[in-house]
Amino acid sequence: MVGAMERDVVRQVRIAADDAPITERVQALLDHDDAPLHLVLEPGLHRAAGLRLRSDVTLEILAGAELHFLPGYDQYAGTKVAIVAEESDRAMLCAADARNIALVGGGQIFGAGSTQYVQGEDVQMGTRRAVRYRPRVVVFDACENIRIEGLHIEDAPMWTMHFAACTRIRVHGLSVDNDRRMPNTDGIVIDGCRDVEITNSVFRTADDGIVLKTTRREDGTLTGPCEDVIIRDCVIESRSCAIKLGTESFSAFRRITCERVDIEKSNRGLGILSRDGGVVEDIRFAQITLDCHETPEGFWGSGEAVTITVIDRRPEEGPAGSVRGVVIEDVHGKMEGALCFVSARADGISDLTLRRVTLEQVRGVLGTAAKYDLRPTEADRFDRFPLGDGNAGRVGGWCYDAQGRIIGLIDYPGGMPGLYIRGVRDLKTEALSIIRPDPLPPEFNVQLVVTEEADGLV
């Protein structure tokens, strides 16, 4: 009994601002014992390399405090993580097999992505050319009972927050503001997690805003299904897809609800990209406002309000998981692209409902929305990318075919419609309105809705 009472006493350590890095001091406090610990960074500048958290730890960054992570991949050799993403095996803040962790406070975390992890510009594609190896900001693997609240994270070098195989995650009042041309800087990645709530948060980034994945680790094991996830009362700006399920989809996605979300100045609005074997079912998007714009071809998609695609990325292992039981309701806004639902096989998408959806389709200035985008495909997947060939494209972004065209970009037949349907069964619409320009621009299809049969071709 005495031991239990002692563990209920939380030791608090306050750390004053200092020009010298705090890495060794903070890690020593974390490693001293396993008793509950509350670390407080006081207002002012703090500098650190990688930190490895443990169970029963609260890291509070007070309003006015700035935690600047040191530049350079080598600074994070001590915080390697087991789950690799986009060749990144390191994190600025990490934890594994831990429980009861909180990152809270009104302070700021700076990743220096656009200043320290860039080697040039790709003007044509609209992106920066990032260095090959970049740390993620936060990686929690197989953790339980996580709370993220009130923090502001800026300029991530790579994925901002990555939660893999975690249970009971509560994110509230988080703000992420990344460089809008820095690739692979997803706002928050929920990877094979269960019981997740993301509320009252703001994500502004070049890559996906909120993305759910179910990945396969390098040892072949899976992070598991994504289940019972709620996204509510958030604001998202993304030059990729504001809210996305996939593309990594080795396990199932079930019982996902996204509601009362404002999507601002974005590329794609809502997306489901099934590429691997996991089924996607019981998904609801509701009360969404969106503003979707064309982007250069370096970004996947171009101005689609909603896109759902089912493409076999690893046919030697089996088909991509089916998408079924998706409800999209009370959605309104503007798009420079189309509504795009494509399955390469018949019935890959089924039981899809569009209810009370009102969209204004307008002409963009780039013309990239005239193509629908099936990236990533079997042909451009990571293990087949010609690394070292500077003319091949950018791994994880785009790959050129023998004719110099980007693999996966396909012209809409007859021009861009308002709604494109291919390989979909049991699509139900109720109060669907797509308002188009009059007269129609020449690159628009005169047909509002174009339906094609699946032919197995990408």
Q: What is the pLDDT of residues 320-354, one digit of tens each?
A: 999 999 999 999 999 999 999 999 999 899 999 99
Separation CA 312–CA 276 (nearest Å): 7
Q: Where are the chain's structural domains? A: 8-385+398-452
Average pLDDT for 359-363:
99
> Based on C-alpha coordinates, what's the Rg of the chain?
22
In the prediction, which pLDDT does 414 show? Answer: 98
Q: What is the pLDDT of residue 125?
A: 86
Concatenated DSSP letters of 185-215: --SEEEES-EEEEEES-EEEESS-SEEEEE-
pLDDT, tens digit, 9 for 90 and up, residues 431-453: 999 999 999 999 999 999 999 99
User: Could you give the count of Cα atoms lying within 13 Å of 184 in the half-sphere of its Cβ?
Assistant: 25
Instruction: List CB contacts of 406: < 8 A, sequence separation 6 or more.
Output: 297, 375, 393, 398, 399, 400
Task: Please report the pLDDT score of residue 383 as a whole number.
Answer: 77
Cβ neighbours of residue 28 under 8 Å, at least 6 residues apart?
Answer: none
Q: What percent of the chain has pLDDT over 70?
A: 97
The DSSP secondary-structure symbol of 222 reads B
Query: Which amino acid does the sequence have at 22?
Result: I
For 264-278, letters b (16+ CB in 10 Å) and e give bebbbbbbbbbbbbb
* Beta bridge partners of residue 229, listed in sequence order: 196, 256
Q: How far is CA 349 from CA 39, 322, 354, in A?
A: 48, 6, 13
Distance, in Å, from the CA atom of 310 to the CA atom of 349, rounded to the nearest integer, reads: 7
For 456, the token pair is 């197995």
Which three-class secondary structure state does DSSP give residue 53? coil
What does pLDDT average to over the chain?
96
Give the model's confidence band at 4: pLDDT under 50 very low, under 70 low, under 90 confident, else very high.
very low
Please give the Cα distance from 318 to 117 (Å, whole number): 37
How many residues comprise the chain? 458
- What is the pLDDT averaged over residues 11-32? 98
194 falls in which pLDDT band (50, 70, 90)? very high
Kind plus residue range of the DSSP H or E element containing 227: strand 226-238
- Does the pLDDT at position 5 exceed 60? no
Average pLDDT over residues 158-176: 99
The mean pLDDT value for 221-234 works out to 99
pLDDT at 2 over 60: no
Token pair, residue 99, equals: 């429980």
CA gap 85, 91 in Å, rounded = 11
What's the average model confidence in pLDDT over 399-426? 95
Chain centre to alpha carbon of residue 374:
17
Quick one: average pLDDT of 209-228?
A: 98
Question: Residue 381: its pLDDT value, please?
Answer: 82
- Per the CB < 8 A criterion, the answer to whether 101 and 146 are in contact is yes
pLDDT digits (tens, 9 = 90+) for 249-259: 999 999 999 99
What confidence category does residue 7 fall into, taking pLDDT thresholds of 50, 70 and 90?
Answer: low
Q: Minimal CA–CA distance to 201: which of 170, 155, 162, 247?
A: 170
Q: What pLDDT was estimated at residue 1?
A: 36
Return the CATH architecture of domain 8-385+398-452: 3 Solenoid (2.160)
State how far the alpha carbon of 445 is from the alpha carbons of 102, 129, 434, 441, 449, in Å. 51, 35, 13, 9, 9
pLDDT grade, residue 273 (50/70/90)?
very high
Q: Which residues contact 215 (CB under 8 A, 6 or more apart)?
A: 83, 85, 164, 191, 192, 222, 223, 248, 250
113-132 per-residue burial string, b: 16 or more CB within 10 A, e: under 16: bbebbbeeebeebbbbebee
Instruction: Give the predicted TM-score (pTM) of the model.
Output: 0.96
Of the pLDDT bands very low, low, confident and very high (cuts 50, 70, 90), residue 457 is low
**Gap between the Cα atoms of 382 and 207, Å rounded:** 18
> What pLDDT score does 307 carry?
99
Name the pLDDT band for 390 (thresholds 50, 70, 90): low
